[in-house]
Amino acid sequence: MNSLNSLDYIRKNVLENNFEQALADLSQSGTVRSDAKLRNEILLQISKCRKLEANRRLGTQSAESLSLEENRIRLAVLELIDLIEANAQTQKPFSGPVDAFISYRRADGAEVARLIRAELIRHNCQAFLDVEDLGGGDWNESLLERIQEARNFIVILSQESLSRIRDENDVMEREISHAISLDKKVIPILMPEFQFPSTELLPVRINTLQQHNGVSYSHEFFQATIEKLMSYLD
């Protein structure tokens, strides 16, 4: 299980909720066999999978609670795959056409951003996420170039996403305003706890943000969220 094709297959299993199979496949990699911390992490996630399924059968958790735990496991396994992939090869900068640029606030939007990126890739969309895909060079200018290349601009609007939006050097404001100025297809992902501030509190360059058709995010109906997002992409 050393090829990148195998890792892509395991990612597919994760996104189809075949967590235990994905973890079993990961456990066979040379990286995991030689790393006690990774082995223990895999065992922990397997334990969580079995507990989740037991609670599902017994009906001891609400559907929303089960969905939240499922997403936590999904993200944890995707992070394990990333670690193994990084060990297998030197990471290369993102290249090729960009279908969607994903903008998010790291404080509370990173998890959803990574899950959405993984799903878009599974649907054969080239999705750019700065923490994963950015190579060398001037960081800010490279981000703006990727936005210019992308046909779609997806912005994760979490509770804290616009909290610093009026700061002069706020990166998220710069990303959003750049996408709007280029007339990109802007698709807000509206997290359950997010509320738009009044228009006068938004910087002029992004005060049209709430006029764009958005997708309401749901942990419980994650696949429906992705399907609606896919229908909006150019």
- List the domain boundaries for the chain: 4-88, 100-232
**Token digits for 156?**
């994760």
Q: Is the pLDDT of residue 121 over 70?
A: yes
**CA 104, 67, 29: angle at the middle one, nearest 5?**
80
Give, for 185, the enclosing helix (H) or strand (E): strand 185-190
Burial 197-228 (b: 16+ CB within 10 A, else e): eeeeebbeebeebeebebbebebeebeebbeb
Distance CA 75, CA 70 (A): 9
DSSP conformational letter for 104 = -
- Euclidean distance between CA atoms 217 and 190, whole angstroms: 6
Mean pLDDT of 170-194: 94
CATH class of 100-232: alpha beta
Is residue 45 pLDDT above 60, yes or no?
A: yes
CA-based diameter of the chain, in Å? 56
59: left (phi over 0), alpha (psi -120 to 50) or beta: left
Q: Which residues are catalytic?
A: 175
Q: Does the pTM of the predicted model rise above 0.85?
A: no
Nearest to 186 by CA among 127, 234, 123, 119: 234
Confidence band for 171, pLDDT divided at 50, 70 and 90: confident
Structure tokens at 74: 């999904």
Beta-bridge mates of residue 2: none
- Calculate mean pLDDT across residues 8-20: 84
Most confident among 161-165, 195-199, 212-216 (mean pLDDT): 212-216
Tell me which of 149 and 200 has the higher pLDDT: 149
CB 202 within 8 A of CB 209: yes
Say which residue, 153 or 18, is predicted with more confidence.
Answer: 153
Per-residue pLDDT at 88: 59
Average pLDDT, the chain: 84
